Structure 1
């Protein structure tokens, strides 16, 4: 990748959306169309698994009690800590973000595809990604729907799910950064696929 974090000659899409929006489903559909998906949230999870590259630094910064018996980050406890203390949140980001950036660039540089999708939950919040990609795709739905989906899939309380929604960028701010918005609320998977397919065809159509 060049100094701007781009891989010349390939369509680069920044994919984002609030928790529970269906962003991962859209990412899978784009992959089915032939894109390589670089999932920054998955990279973060891998860094904090047993033996992950971030474990030693996290234990040093936050204490060994944040590492569970298997050697992985206790994600639930860490989530509670960083939600309650912005300084702790920034300390965790200072550890993870450079590692995530390096692995993101490595995966993009070795991807054998004409289109790369960077799946970045906090794309808008970071302030850096808009200049690093050709297109920004936002997956959107009502906040109520976000909360309902997170509760259903994760078993969180509605209050816990709403707390995550509240910490993310507002829907209007995400949409304002988008080149396209997929509205994923009150529709079937088939209807969602039609939206994604039409957008893929538009963005990958050879220039006339």
Structure 2
């Protein structure tokens, strides 16, 4: 059995996605419903972290850097799209409760149909700055996003040796030797910062829902006829 797992070979009965998995190493995907981009962003991030943990053991080949960088870039893109969903929800519920406080046009256009990290951040940044106006991390996040955008603007540089549009080589100006540790540390840090913003937005949305529930309870109590004892 160990030989089969070490070097599997086709026998004609393979199924990539069996409806009834035959072993205990399975993934339950039903939980992702209703979570939007969050589950996908988390999956790519954790995969990047786990791959780095293996690379730290010095058990790797250099081309694995392409996979690691793509996992981190995909995690960043999906986290930004998740953040866009979250801030859009907050804006729309604020408008519902106070019609004079209009939601941004972007809040009505989820999800954002682009792989462009710079464009994603430009749509999100001005809308979240009002939540934490003094946080210096916004400029630091932008700095990291800019670095990734310059290297991989179309999300293909770490997936293919040539660009999908003009077939020119990807990563032409990329250093010949790169730091795996720097990539891991920086991406964990920037995603931690973005996650903290999502958590704050989630808290604010929760407060709005709590207030709406309380208002409904008060309204229901006021409309219920009181019986004399």
TM above 0.5: no
TM-score normalised by structure 1 residue count = 0.28
More strand by share: 1
RCO higher in structure (CA 8 A, sep ≥6): 1
TM-score normalised by structure 2 residue count = 0.26
Pair member with larger Rg: 2
